Structure 1
């Protein structure tokens, strides 16, 4: 054993933190996307919408899939 006393609460909390971090990393690998990927997708979607609106015949028409019967 070592000469210095060990704070068991700190050891318990460190172990819990490590387990929580491991589970978070596992979930991020399964489901998550990085912030850069999210921003890139948002920028692409915004650009596609803008280009589509620029090619509209009637610029005052609202964008969307609504059609008048």
Structure 2
């Protein structure tokens, strides 16, 4: 996966950015979540709308360690 990974500090979930959502005068970033499947990190079908201040860019190694344990 070549897109940078982000962590939602409110939920602890990891994902990649997939655009922006504007709802009721508020602006959110759309985070497509990733999960561990068969020892690999894959995109899931789940999304979260996140305020930019609640996101932090993380390394692929941090995502691997969090989701796969190594």
Shorter-chain TM-score: which interval?
under 0.3
Q: Higher helix fraction: Structure 1 or Structure 2?
A: 1
- TM-score, structure 2 as length reference: 0.20
Bigger CA radius of gyration: 1
